[in-house]
Amino acid sequence: MDFTDIYNSKKKSPEEIADQILSGFELVCPTAASQPTAIPAAIAERAKKGEIEHVRHNSIIALNPAPFVDPELAGKFEYVSWFTQAAARKGVQEGYCDYMPCHYSEEVAVWDAKGNPDVFYAVVSPMDRHGYFSFGIIASEAVELAERAKYVFLEVNKNMPRCHGSNIIHISQVDALCEYDAPLNEVPVPTVSETDLTIGRQIAEMIPDGATIQFGIGGVPSAVGMCLNDKKDLGIHTELFTESMIDLIEQGIVTNRRKPLNTGKTVAAFAWGSKRMYDFLDDNISISMEPVSYVNNPYVIGQIDNFISINACLEVDLLGQVCSESIGPKHFSGSGGQVDFVRGCNMSKGGKSFIAMNATAKKGTLSKIKPILTPGAVVTTGKNDVDYIVTEFGVAHLRGRTAGERAKALIEIAHPDFREELRAEARKMHLMI
């Protein structure tokens, strides 16, 4: 069957698609490079003219150009951030964008709780001869949210790689599409400092051959990737596909042979990186892009022995409560999949979750290990879930340790300049028994 006629009958201009948006509509697109360019721009034009109001765009990560992140359009076309990075941070901090607390594994379930979106729209790679589009480097929430929305609009972009996995949509599921070849957003390879490498080496020592790994966002997870050169038969099962994973696969350190699930394949929910990464993922049958409700599901992670998760944070208190998403009351990021992987590792035989950070911030003037979290800081990973905390001064294993033991272990990996002060505070809190 030839799907070209159906394709052509659904092909519209971005403006014609934007004309279908009604006031009060909830729009959603998958994360990062899935964000359409031409359709939101056309919707913003309508909002500026006063034709629509109270339209909300939802996504995990918003990228520029993001016309819905514009204080001038507040109340007309506005943004709800589900993981505050890139284009949305200023808007959330200044209060003209809102944010949605959620674990990434539960994003679709949260939509089920709040009511389904009116519109799902996304960037896809060009249609194949069977009538299928690939969501490319993003699987995450795409398939499940497209099924739930009243309308599905696509922006077909020849720059979106065609990736393998459960990340496809058929022309019969689409209400309208437009073609727009915007360059795919790239992020610079994270800078890795000497301190990050010191942390990375300590974590690498605790990763056995045959382990399956997940890396989060930031310099420390990247540093760990650079310290795994002597490992064998690693597997990858990760929310975010990172730059350092390419080297591990190309060098044969990752084989995925010892994973009981998706054996032989690298599994990721989405990728966000450089052109080199996007070329690597294009038509690469060893990579399976899978929904985040599967990848980040703690019960799935728990079925994989020796699962190792490495994420970063902003501060930790003496009980091991981890804040990864705010600086005091100032919202900075999101929970993403941090807790999903921490909980999954706790269920995995031999699993370990590492949350790592430099011991200090602000040029050494501030300890990131604190007696209590900064007032207003939110807890991302709770004290009952946390496993290992790592700084350049060592590794504190908290799971199975009492409050007093945790305080001692954490003070030992704080910067030496702050240890005495932390001990004094811990005593006042009756934590040093």
Which pair of structure tokens corresponds to residue 171?
A: 């022309």
Q: List residues binding ligand COA (CB under 6 A).
A: 216-219, 239-240, 311-315, 324-325, 327, 332-338, 361-362, 366, 368, 380
Intra-chain end-to-end CA distance of the chain, in Å: 75
> Least distance from C-beta 59 to ligand COA, angstroms?
14
By CB atoms closer than 10 A (0-12, 13-18, 19+), residue 3 is middle
* Phi/psi of residue 183, nearest 5 degrees: -65, 145
Q: Which is nearer to ligand COA, 33 or 178 (CB)?
A: 33
Q: Which residue, 170, 124, 120, is CA-closest to 150?
A: 120
Q: Are strands 394-397 and 388-391 parallel, antiparallel or unpaired?
A: antiparallel
* Phi/psi of residue 118, nearest 5 degrees: -75, -40
Catalytic residue, from 239, 290, 325, 425: name it: 239
> Least distance from C-beta 198 to ligand COA, angstroms?
14
Spell out the alpha helix ranges (H) of 127-228. Answer: 142-148, 194-205, 219-226
Which pair of structure tokens corresponds to residue 323?
A: 């804040």
Residue number with the smallest Cβ distance to ligand COA? 218
Q: Which is nearer to ligand COA, 85 or 255 (CB)?
A: 85
> Least distance from C-beta 124 to ligand COA, angstroms?
23
**Contact 58/141 with Cβ under 8 angstroms?**
no
> Least distance from C-beta 210 to ligand COA, angstroms?
23
**Contact 291/139 with Cβ under 8 angstroms?**
yes
Q: Which is nearer to ligand COA, 115 or 375 (CB)?
A: 375
> Least distance from C-beta 320 to ligand COA, angstroms?
15
Please give the torsion angle defined by the CA atoms of residues 278, 279, 280 and 282, in that order, rounded to the nearest 10 degrees: 80
Q: Are strands 26-28 and 360-361 parallel, antiparallel or unpaired?
A: unpaired
> Least distance from C-beta 231 to ligand COA, angstroms?
21
Q: Which is nearer to ligand COA, 243 or 325 (CB)?
A: 325
Calculate the CA 47 to chain-centre distance: 30
Q: Which residue, 325, 340, 320, is CA-closest to 383?
A: 320
* Phi/psi of residue 133, nearest 5 degrees: -110, 150
> Least distance from C-beta 356 to ligand COA, angstroms?
9
> Least distance from C-beta 380 to ligand COA, angstroms?
6
* Gap between the Cα atoms of 97 and 74, Å rounded: 8
Q: Which is nearer to ligand COA, 77 or 332 (CB)?
A: 332
Q: Which is nearer to ligand COA, 177 or 295 (CB)?
A: 295
Which pair of structure tokens corresponds to residue 105?
A: 């594994």
Please give the torsion angle defined by the CA atoms of residues 190, 195, 199 and 201, in that order, rounded to the nearest 10 degrees: 90
DSSP secondary structure letter of residue 327: E
Q: Which is nearer to ligand COA, 33 or 47 (CB)?
A: 33
| Radius of gyration from C-alpha coordinates of the chain | 22
Known catalytic residue at 186: no
DSSP 339-363: HHHHHHHHHSTT-EEEEE--SEETT
Q: Which is nearer to ligand COA, 117 or 218 (CB)?
A: 218
> Which residues participate in catalysis according to the annotation?
239
